[in-house]
């Protein structure tokens, strides 16, 4: 009998409708972590921000939507794209970090689990469709795929949906310039165990969690302008430390992944990196190719951060969906191509998997 190959059979995404260009923040006052006002014009701060991150605009959800809503829309897109019966799903995994945060509240709502809400929204009646959440920082969707890979290889699970969805605009400090990177979005993939003699689908993966030294690089804290905002808590990060951590670890995780699959870097056609920061992703790519003493091929790394921003767990499944459906100019992926997916986040998690298109 041919071995089971966990294979992506459908993709979908939801890109929020509210477009927020950098110019929308020209009248904003920014403060540092010590609550001191940054003595620079907003226009200069925004120019520096765009030069570092590559972000010109981002997308926010409309006030009537929460994370489980946009997760549902991405799921519907994947089901429709693949012509797949929703009742055939054995598992429904939703990766997120903050639950449903309603406009104007700042409060996280995770009961019941977002996966349960999505299953309800989809109208799935099958009691054997197991729905649960996964909280793993920005690498959450990728970790969900790795989890599904294990399940499918065991043979007891035939088909699973993995969704990454987040509304970071609801937990962003309006006076923290680091929060300008955050965006909203949702992406979904349906992965199925397909018997095949040929090595296709997920070939290998690598994961690490550096909690001892790095577990506080992301945390929840008060606004940088606490006197104006009050006691609400917002997502905070130590951007420079996270940048260094990513450069020290992501390329090595990718190399481990390639070694496990018996692949050489020159066999990789596409590299899908979590869309956190354009310069950081470029530096990670450079570090990877330096490990192999190789030149970076043109067009190997598709990017969406310039117009979608950083939507955490949603960046990778959204990016892949857009490439698969030929919605990014100059980026295509075809049968037989080999891709690497990699992510870094929560200040301490790194993961990657190698994938061959069926």
The helix or strand, by DSSP H or E, that contains position 205, with its residue range, turns out to be strand 201-209
Closest CA to 133 of 67, 47, 213, 199: 67
Burial state string for 25-61 with b = 16 or more CB within 10 A and e = fewer than 16: beeeebbeeeeeeeeeebeebbeebbeebbbebbbbb
At 155, is the pLDDT very low, low, confident or very high (cuts 50, 70, 90)? confident
Burial state string for 178-216 with b = 16 or more CB within 10 A and e = fewer than 16: bbbbbbbbbbbbbbbbbeeeebbbbbbbbbeeeeeebee
% helix / strand / coil in the chain, to the nearest 5?
Answer: 35, 25, 35
pLDDT of residue 214: 75
Query: Is 227 a residue whose pLDDT tops 90?
Result: no
In the numeric block, which tokens belong to residue 26? Answer: 């020209």
pLDDT, one tens digit per residue, over 262-283 is 999 999 999 999 999 999 999 9
Average pLDDT for 79-84: 98
Please tell me what DSSP assigns to residue 16: -
Averaged pLDDT of the chain: 95
Preceding peptide of 32 cis, ω within 30°: no
Please tell me what DSSP assigns to residue 224: T
pLDDT of residue 58: 98
pLDDT of residue 190: 98
Query: Is 138 a residue whose pLDDT tops 90?
Result: yes
d(CA 337, CA 342): 17
Percent of the chain with pLDDT over 90: 86
What is the CA 14 to chain-centroid distance, rounded?
13
At 242, is the pLDDT very low, low, confident or very high (cuts 50, 70, 90)? confident
Query: Is 185 a residue whose pLDDT tops 80?
Result: yes
At 174, is the pLDDT very low, low, confident or very high (cuts 50, 70, 90)? very high
């Amino acid at each position: 009998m041919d071995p089971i190959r966990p294979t992506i059979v459908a993709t979908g995404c939801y890109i929020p409708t509210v477009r927020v260009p950098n110019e929308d923040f020209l009248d904003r006052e920014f403060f540092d972590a010590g609550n001191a006002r940054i003595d620079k014009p907003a226009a200069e701060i925004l120019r520096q921000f765009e030069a570092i991150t590559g972000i010109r605009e981002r997308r926010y959800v409309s006030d009537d939507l929460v994370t489980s809503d946009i997760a549902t829309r991405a799921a519907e897109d994947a089901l429709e794209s693949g012509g797949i019966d929703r009742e055939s799903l054995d598992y429904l995994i939703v990766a997120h970090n903050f639950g449903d945060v309603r406009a104007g509240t700042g409060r996280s709502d995770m009961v019941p689990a977002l996966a349960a809400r999505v299953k309800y929204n989809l109208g799935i009646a099958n009691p054997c469709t197991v729905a649960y959440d996964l909280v793993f920082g920005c690498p959450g969707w990728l970790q969900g795929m790795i989890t599904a890979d294990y399940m499918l290889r065991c043979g007891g699970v035939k088909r699973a949906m993995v969704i990454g969805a987040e509304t970071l605009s609801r937990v962003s400090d309006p006076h923290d310039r680091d929060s300008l990177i955050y965006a909203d979005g949702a992406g979904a993939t349906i992965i199925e165990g397909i018997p095949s003699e040929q090595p296709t689908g997920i070939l290998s993966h690598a994961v690490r969690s550096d909690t001892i030294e790095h577990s506080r690089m992301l945390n929840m804290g008060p606004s940088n302008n606490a006197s104006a905002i009050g006691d609400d808590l917002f997502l905070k990060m130590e951007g420079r430390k996270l940048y260094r951590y990513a450069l020290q670890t992501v390329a090595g995780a990718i190399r481990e992944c390639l070694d496990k699959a018996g692949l050489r870097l020159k066999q990789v056609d596409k590299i899908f990196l979590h869309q956190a920061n354009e310069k950081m992703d470029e530096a990670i790519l450079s570090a990877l190719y330096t490990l192999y003493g190789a030149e970076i091929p043109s067009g190997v790394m598709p990017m969406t951060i310039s117009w979608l921003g950083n939507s955490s767990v949603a960046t990778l499944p959204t990016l892949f969906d857009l490439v698969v459906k030929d919605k990014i100019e100059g980026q295509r992926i075809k049968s037989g191509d080999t891709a690497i997916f990699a992510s870094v986040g929560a200040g301490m998690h790194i993961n990657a998997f190698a994938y061959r298109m069926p």
